[in-house]
Chain A
Amino acid sequence: GNSVTQMEGPVTLSEEAFLTINCTYTATGYPSLFWYVQYPGEGLQLLLKATKADDKGSNKGFEATYRKETTSFHLEKGSVQVSDSAVYFCASLSDYKLSFGAGTTVTVRA
């Protein structure tokens, strides 16, 4: 079955720093890949997604590229803000099931 491994945190950054959260997947075939974000006390929100190799998902300054050769979907943002403090989840979809990574807690300090 599918599984997702992502960099475990916590990650603490200063405002305007560069953020990378690594994510790799194992799957049969080519699953759709997602990054979800969970702000404190809230549910999950879709941040971005990519459905096939070399697709780049982007939203709110975040980007991730579907890399088939390295089975990766790393999340990046060039300049983080305090409001980006949240838990970030990488996920893959196969047979209607989302498989999540363990989540990475990101704290951005002013």
Chain B
Amino acid sequence: DTAVSQTPKYLVTQMGNDKSIKCEQNLGHDTMYWYKQDSKKFLKIMFSYNNKELIINETVPNRFSPKSPDKAHLNLHINSLELGDSAVYFCASGRVGTDTQYFGPGTRLTVL
């Protein structure tokens, strides 16, 4: 029973392309997040949605657009991919009023 799942696990693409990463959680949580982990393992939050509403939007290029069709899903669409977008992207979920966030397995994006 996967709690937080992401697809695809690996994504290799050319510069300039547009790609999407999908995230789903079956924990019944109302808040979902996207994090970026760079090549030095540094993790930084990008976005957060609560009940399909954007509540956190860090300084991220507007080529990145999160979309939450419902509480269980938070997808990340990236336009005009650049070399610097290469990273591992983690989705996470949690419940407002509690502390713990549960992470997905990550999507390794490589931009050539």
Residues of chain A touching chain B, judged by Cβ–Cβ distance below 8 Å, are: 32, 34, 36, 38, 42-46, 49, 51, 87, 89, 93, 95-100, 102-103, 105
Contacts and interface: CB of A to CB of B under 8 A. Distances in A.
B99 A34 contact: yes
Interface size on B, as a range, is 20 to 34
B56 A44 contact: no
Nearest to B101: A98
Nearest to B104: A43
A46 to B, nearest CB: 6
B44 A100 contact: yes
B99 A32 contact: yes
A96 B41 contact: no
Interface string B71-105: 00000000000000000001010101001111111
Contacts of B96: 96
